Amino acid sequence: MYELIDAFPQQLKEALEIGRKAQLKAPDGPYTNVVVTGLGGSGIGGRIAAQLVAGEAICPIEVYSNYYLPAYVGKGSLVIACSYSGNTEETIAAMEQALAKGARVCVVTSGGKMLEMAKAKGLDHIVIPGGNPPRTMLAYSLTQQFFVLKHYGIIQSDLVPAISAAADMLAADKASIQAAAKELTEKLFGKRLVIYSEASTEAVSIRFRQQVNENSKELCWHHAIPEMNHNELVGWAGGKDDIAVVIFRHKADHERSQIRMEINKEVFRKYTPHIHDIWSQGDSAIARQLYLINLGDWVSYYWAEKKGVDPTEIAVINMLKGKLAEVK
């Protein structure tokens, strides 16, 4: 796991080369909506990408992590089917629905049944490197989202320079990022983690939660501001000092959201002293989010190391998949 997290900047560079070389058919269109179907480490890239391009996308982009697609999916839809293994049963089911409804389908995978389907049906597809835990391959699946969205005319921006510059930044700042991650891990160890961010960057909080779940073998939860101010903030009446709060922050967060965060911290302090603002770094929106992703990945690794657990082990998920496979 250490080597895979350490390789994140280089993976971003390799992902850019894969995207540049992707051979996709004429985009046709225009498209009235985009649906990304994927789960876990395969689906989070779609959530991050959708939030990053929300300000320029010409149509709605939604992520569905289930067996089904919304009723509006049809001939004017673009469906991006993402499964690292290519064998995720929920994503295959959604992909089959998309094809039955006449949607344009583009597949991002390393192989499996979905790649076989894509080749057999002549669907656009991008193949990413296989053989690793899906959560460690985010650089590849996330980067391809931007290439796909640009190819089909959903966005106009070329994000290649920003991603490349972000990869250089993460590589150059490796020591400081690791040091910050170790320091944060020490503060979180032995506590129940709660993650907050502004709603516009919630996907990065979800990614951190997923990594703490899988790598650190810890329960935690996340919520977004301002929504949590209308419900969960009241729930803090049941807060305890064994809870640690991490707030992912960006200087570009809405000024009213930043005011809310400061007021929220006053509430949190009544119940716990463990409150940590983590400010993003980087020269672009994508760089700042990639910084927080990389930092969170390192925290999840150091947390596992401190607990003495294997960050790669996911026996309970494999057990679930095995039992599902027995049910026809």
- Among residues 110, 84, 75, 107, the alpha carbon closest in space to that of 94 is found at 107
Q: Tens digits of per-residue pLDDT, 131-157? A: 999 999 999 999 999 999 999 999 999
Q: Tens digits of per-residue pLDDT, 86-130? A: 999 999 999 999 999 999 999 999 999 999 999 999 999 999 999
Secondary structure E strands in 199-242: 220-225
What is the rounded CA–CA span in Å between residue 261 and residue 204? 17
State how beta strands 220-225 and 192-198 pair: parallel
Mean pLDDT per 10-residue interval, the chain, length 328 residues? 98 98 94 97 95 97 96 97 96 98 98 98 97 95 97 96 98 98 98 98 98 98 98 98 98 98 98 98 97 98 98 92 89
Looking at residue 276, its amino acid is H
Q: What is the pLDDT of residue 200?
A: 97
- Give the residue numbers marked as catalytic: 214, 230, 321
pTM of the model: 0.96
Q: How would you write 119-177 as a 3-class SS string? A: HHHCCEEEECCCCCCHHHHHHHHHHHHHHHHHHCCCCCCCCHHHHHHHHHHHHHCHHHH
Domains and CATH numbers, the chain: 2-162 (3.40.50.10490), 173-307 (3.40.50.10490)
